[in-house]
Amino acid sequence: MEAAQGRRLSVIASHLRQIPIPPTTTNVSSSIVSPSHCNSSDSEKLRNLEADCVFCKIIRGDAPALKLYEDDTCLCFLDTNPVSPGHCLIIPRSHFPFLVATPPSVVAAMCSKVPYISKAVMKATGSDSFNLLVNNGVDAGQVIFHTHIHIIPRRARDCLWASESLKRHPLKITLVKIMVEPLSLEADIRIISTGNHRLLPLTTIANHRLPSKATASLS
């Protein structure tokens, strides 16, 4: 079985075309974190983080990795401690510690490769399903602080982790307020209920709870 899986993984690279990296590639992190934006101490801290980051070492070629895809923005390689055959990671070439610190254009570039890479990985491993996973922050399980996306092929009854049905609670409108205000939305929030719509001004919904029907529509 392991030999067969190894043979399947060995053909992944044949399904993924590597794109030559232009020699004048612009480093996104250096354009964001520069002397004009921060002091020399911050720049030194960034250099130290990149020097110690295992993913940055893979990017520089200082650490081994089986690369499946690379371009001028991101690359993908097999996880050295996979939870399933074909488990791989997509990372940006520039160092960003968290997903929320990664420029949207870079996140978009990474995500745009998911259909392409996942299709090849599933074909090579003989699976037809996969999990797309991002651990953002310590409490979410992030261990390596360089933005990365997991592609984890799944098979029936692989017992990787059990699906759990969590007890759901009605959503508090105050939580909705917290979520929408930073997005500079309008002063009103539309609460969707069965068969009709009504508007609640954010200033009047403190400690309010969604109607049960509306809650069901948001499940």
Active site residues: 148
For residues 145 and 216, give the distance between their C-alpha atoms in angstroms, rounded to a whole number.
37
Q: At what angle do helices 114-125 and 104-112 cross, to 10 degrees?
A: 30
The 3-state DSSP class for residue 109 equals helix
Q: Which of 87, 93, 125, 89 has the alpha carbon at shortest distance from 106?
A: 93
Tokens of 104: 């949207």
The 3-state DSSP class for residue 78 equals strand
Q: Which of 12, 4, 17 has the alpha carbon at shortest distance from 123?
A: 12
Question: Helix, strand, coil: what percent of the chain each, to 5?
Answer: 40, 20, 45
Q: Which of 135, 102, 130, 98 has the alpha carbon at shortest distance from 116?
A: 130
207: left (phi over 0), alpha (psi -120 to 50) or beta: left
